[in-house]
Amino acid sequence: MPNYKMYIGGKWVGADEYFETINPATGKSLGRFPKGKEKHVNMAVDAAEKAFGKWAEMPPPKRGGILRKAADLLRKDKQRLGKLVANEMGKVMPEALGDVQEAIDIFEYMAGEGRRLFGHTTTSELKDKFAMTVRMPVGVMGLVTPWNFPIAIPAWKLAPALVCGNAIVFKPSSDTPLCAYELVKILIKAGVPKGVVNLITGPASDVGKPIVEHPKIRGVSFTGSKYTGEWITEHAGLKKVGLELGGKNPIIVMDDADLELAAEGIIWGAFGTTGQRCTAASRLIVHRKIKNKLLKTIVERAKKMKLGNPAQKSTDVGPLINRQALEKVQKYVEIGKKEGARMLCGGRAPSGKGFFYTPTVFSQVSQDMRIAREEIFGPVLSVLEFTNLREAIEMANAVEYGLSSSIYTKDVHNAFRAIEKLESGLTYINSSTIGSEVHLPFGGVKSTGHTREAGIRGIDEFSNIKTVYVDYSGKLQKAQIDVD
């Protein structure tokens, strides 16, 4: 298996120690990556600082051109990269290709931003004075990304960070460094200058921590767990920090809903990506009247889902990312049983290779149970029941997270009440909790964090607003004072 390298200041760099990246379905090694250390982060920051000035001065449409080239290269390589996503991360092929597509989309979208990066102009309270805002790069930024969207999430951060003119130190998850490496190679090929993107692989303690604490890094963008997000908040000092953290996303199903449509959305939301999305539907909040009927369909379908190698067409559910993830799911299933919830299907880790777990549904879940409140990040659905919409919304909001939410109903009043009352960054009507599109903002409220990525808000995290006043009166004019 090959030894891969890190990319610092335009050079490929090794380290004293290496770690393995494996296929979670087979346990087979895909290669070895350097265990970066603080000194590598320091080297990367120096290289980024050096490259920053020229990069920031390049006209944004030209930077956008490089992103467009990256999108083209990704598109050309979509099949190969999709296979790599399936092999290294474990999601099934259609989703793996979707992961790459999401990266293509965001590079294209942000390429166009090179000709926008809008500020705004407005009036002044004084005569012969002009007022406007412009966007400035943040400077050297640290990007710390998870494994569950190993190409798409790095792309969500890299594309806006680059178009805004930042220089980057990028630390991908140690579960999917190969996807990150391939993405960086595409950026190099597309023409990103040396030092502008630096890739450092290795553990959070040796790479993530020095990135967050480095005095010359001006901004950190992180997607991952709430706990790491809290740690970053405490240690980043006064840096600009963007956080996309966990979810415990509910689907509410009203008694007037199209139950077939709802069942499809629930299965897709709960067990797609083996439940490993921060937008996964981990709670079904269902009207008492239709509960039995809906659950029957869901359980039937969940039981039929085929576990297996994600690269194979017949597979519905791939493995979990690693042993710890599998153990976490097993632990929560035991907790659910002990808390008195009723397991309707699943609850099994098949023997043999790979970190597989069967799609699991718990009914008779109450709000105080841990499986109703905590993020499991696996194929486990907790079912709660209600008798009226107000109760359903209360249940939906009774968790600390607030990323995505959904309601199935044919009644427009219910739909709009849900839009108004659900505490989440995203609300879907008659559709599952997953599947955001890159030209709309994505992010949460409450313990999910408050950052917005993608869409027109996606550049806020990676740029600073500068307010500019131009006084062409030729005399000293005092705001608030010379106004009468």
- Residue 382 to residue 367: CA distance in whole angstroms: 10
Bridge partner residues of 7 (DSSP): 12, 199
418: tokens are 């849900």
Distances (CA, A) of 421 to 389, 402, 427: 10, 12, 10
User: Is residue 149 close enough to count as binding ligand UN1 by CB under 6 A?
Assistant: yes
Nearest to 444 by CA among 226, 214, 274, 251: 226
484: tokens are 């009468």
Out of 176, 198, 279, 447, the only residue in the binding site for ligand UN1 (CB under 6 A) is 279
For ligand UN1, the binding residues in 222-241 under the rule CB under 6 A are 223
**Given the residues 108, 182, 244, 461, the one annotated as active site:** 244
Out of 144, 167, 434, 459, the only residue in the binding site for ligand UN1 (CB under 6 A) is 434
Angle at Cα 111 formed by Cα 107 and Cα 116, nearest 5°? 135
**Given the residues 164, 179, 278, 345, the one annotated as active site:** 278
For ligand UN1, the binding residues in 85-104 under the rule CB under 6 A are 102
User: Is residue 277 close enough to count as binding ligand UN1 by CB under 6 A?
Assistant: yes
For ligand UN1, the binding residues in 17-76 under the rule CB under 6 A are none
Q: Is the Cβ of residue 67 or residue 434 nearer to ligand UN1 in the bound state?
A: 434
278 labelled catalytic: yes
Stretch binding ligand UN1 (CB under 6 A), from 38-46, 201-209, 272-280, 290-298: 272-280
Q: Minimum Å distance from CB 157 to ligand UN1?
A: 11
CB-count exposure of residue 193 (10 Å: 0-12, 13-18, 19+): middle
- Residue 67 to residue 107: CA distance in whole angstroms: 6
Q: Minimum Å distance from CB 248 to ligand UN1?
A: 13
Reduced to 3 states (helix: H, G, I; strand: E, B; else coil), residue 94 is helix
Q: Is the Cβ of residue 274 or residue 279 nearer to ligand UN1 in the bound state?
A: 279
244 labelled catalytic: yes
Q: Is the Cβ of residue 207 or residue 278 nearer to ligand UN1 in the bound state?
A: 278
Number of residues located near ligand UN1, criterion CB under 6 A: 10
Q: Report which DSSP code applies to 224.
A: S
Stretch binding ligand UN1 (CB under 6 A), from 36-44, 130-138, 345-353, 429-437: 429-437
Q: Minimum Å distance from CB 95 to ligand UN1?
A: 10
Bridge partner residues of 272 (DSSP): none
Q: Is the Cβ of residue 279 or residue 360 nearer to ligand UN1 in the bound state?
A: 279
Q: Is the Cβ of residue 219 or residue 444 nearer to ligand UN1 in the bound state?
A: 444
Q: Are 273 and 91 in contact (CB under 8 A)?
A: yes
Tell me, rounded to whole angstroms, the distance of Cα 15 from its chain centroid. Answer: 29
For residue 153, which phi and psi values (nearest 5 degrees)? -70, -45
Bridge partner residues of 140 (DSSP): 167
* Per-residue binder mask for ligand UN1 (CB under 6 A), 114-143, x = binder: ------------------------------
- Residue 102 to residue 106: CA distance in whole angstroms: 6
Residue numbers at the binding site for ligand UN1 (CB under 6 A)? 102, 148-149, 223, 277-279, 434-436
User: Could you give the residue numbers annotated as active site?
Assistant: 244, 278
